[in-house]
Structure 1
Amino acid sequence: MDLRAALADRRLVAIVRGGDPDAALRTVLALVQEGIDLVEVSLSGADALGVITRCVGELGPGRPIGAGTVLTADDARAARDAGAAFAVTPGLGAGADTARELGLPVLAGVMTPTEINTALAQGADALKLFPAAQAGGPPYLKALRAPFPDAAFVPVGGVDLDAARAYLAAGATAVGVGSPLVADAADGGSLSALRERARAFLAVVEEAAG
């Protein structure tokens, strides 16, 4: 898949991490039904590889379901084998390197200009600015875009509705949203409440596009 194009088109990545694999699967399916089909299933969740495999089986191989928290070479290989369409890392290292070698697009975790330079030189498709809130929020992103105007930044960490709006206005290609969107759905919480939150985030994305 063309990860950068997908990020620019959808502008929102849902991050699913839960303790109940069945609930996590239901969460992904509900998000896709609401129109959020760029989804990262974190490997730190329960049976995350199984969740990815089941998502691909339910949705088909063309859906952009990615693996998150890809730390090691083994993580990258397991994500590829499970059918993940892309890999997301919290930082640079073996997980990102091996994912690229396997042909998986990589959303690589960075925080500093040095890390951004390194990630771009290593061929990262896009840059996960993480943890974005602790790094300085939308003003920090805006400052980074001056020396890196062509980089595709995806802020992650503490991105609620207001922050999503601010990051997109500051030039983010997309935003990555975990608990403010998913909340307890991947642990068995309300899917109807999840759907309401999904619609609210999609409204912010549409507002930014308009």
Structure 2
Amino acid sequence: MELSQALEDCPAIAILRASSADRFGEVTDVLVDAGLRAVEYTLTTPGVLAALSAYAKRAPDVALGAGTVTTADEARRAVEAGATYLITPAVFPEVLEEGARLGVPVLPGALTPTEIVTAWRAGAALVKLFPASLGGVSYLKAVRAPLPDIPLVPTGGVDPANAGEWLAAGAAAVAVGSPLVGDACSPSGDLGALAARAKVLVGSVRRG
């Protein structure tokens, strides 16, 4: 599934980052069952490309992306594994260029107005406002005032309950990691609690 379509249905990206990707498939199933359609598998997780490839093959109706992409080589390998979009922690021109070459959207991380504009002019599909916790919702509003046409996706500081506030303030979508996932990626993690948090998130963004 294309990211744009997934975010139209549910404007939230779940971020999976853990010490192992062994449980990423199970966790993604829970998130999808709750109504989420976009999930980011971070490249800092051991075994992530194998997990990404396996899930992409069996669930083409989910928008799977690769996160923490910092080089063109990582971008290529992620797309080969099945990623349909790429997310970076900062503005990496080579990742934006490789994403354009491969025909996949890139969401670079940026915080200041200069970084945001630089990312947008370099071809970002959306700009990840990161870490959004530093300024909160008021900072998002302040940045959007002079830059209303740049779609921002706040990441860091967003949780299932407050996600709707970010959308109401003008975010194009939100991305949520540990406040959503909790311990679910660990072998003994509570998938039931994850399902409950995911339902809160979906309800929050759909109201927002």
Which TM-score bucket, shorter chain as reference? over 0.9
Q: In the alignment, what sits opposite 2:24? A: 24
Paired residues of 1:8 and 1:173 also in contact (CA < 8 A): no
5 Å matches for 1:14-93? 14-60=14-60, 62-93=61-92
5 Å matches for 1:1-210? 3-4=3-4, 6-60=6-60, 62-93=61-92, 94-134=94-134, 136-188=135-187, 189-208=189-208
- Farther off after superposition, 45-54 or 159-168: 159-168
SS in 2 for 1:150: coil
Could you list the structure 1 runs, at least 4 aligned residues long, displaced by more than 6 angstroms after superposition: none
| Aligned residue identity for 1:12 | A
| Aligned residue identity for 1:45 | T
- Farther off after superposition, 120-129 or 87-96: 87-96
| Aligned residue identity for 1:161 | P
Paired residues of 1:8 and 1:174 also in contact (CA < 8 A): no
Paired residues of 2:3 and 2:38 also in contact (CA < 8 A): no
C-alpha offsets along residues 186-209 of structure 1, whole Å, 9 cap, x if unaligned?
12201111101101111111221x
| Aligned residue identity for 1:32 | V
- 2-side partners of 1:99 and 1:145: how far apart? 25
Change over 3 Å in CA distance of 1:2–1:30 after alignment to 2:
closer
Calculate the aligned-residue CA RMSD, in Å. Answer: 1.5
Q: For structure 2, which runs of at least 5 residues remain unmatched after alignment?
A: none
Deviation at 1:123, TM superposition (A): 1.1
| Aligned residue identity for 2:64 | I
SS in 1 for 2:56: helix
Deviation at 1:4, TM superposition (A): 4.2
C-alpha offsets along residues 122-157 of structure 1, whole Å, 9 cap, x if unaligned?
1100010000001x0111100111111111110001
- Farther off after superposition, 65-74 or 29-38: 29-38
TM-score (norm 1): 0.92
TM-score (norm 2): 0.93
SS in 1 for 2:66: strand
Change over 3 Å in CA distance of 1:2–1:22 after alignment to 2:
closer
- 2-side partners of 1:96 and 1:163: how far apart? 30
Q: For structure 1, which runs of at least 5 residues remain unmatched after alignment?
A: none
Paired residues of 2:40 and 2:65 also in contact (CA < 8 A): yes
- 1-side partners of 2:114 and 2:196: how far apart? 39
| Aligned residue identity for 2:91 | L
| Aligned residue identity for 1:87 | L
- 2-side partners of 1:128 and 1:4: how far apart? 14
Paired residues of 1:4 and 1:152 also in contact (CA < 8 A): no
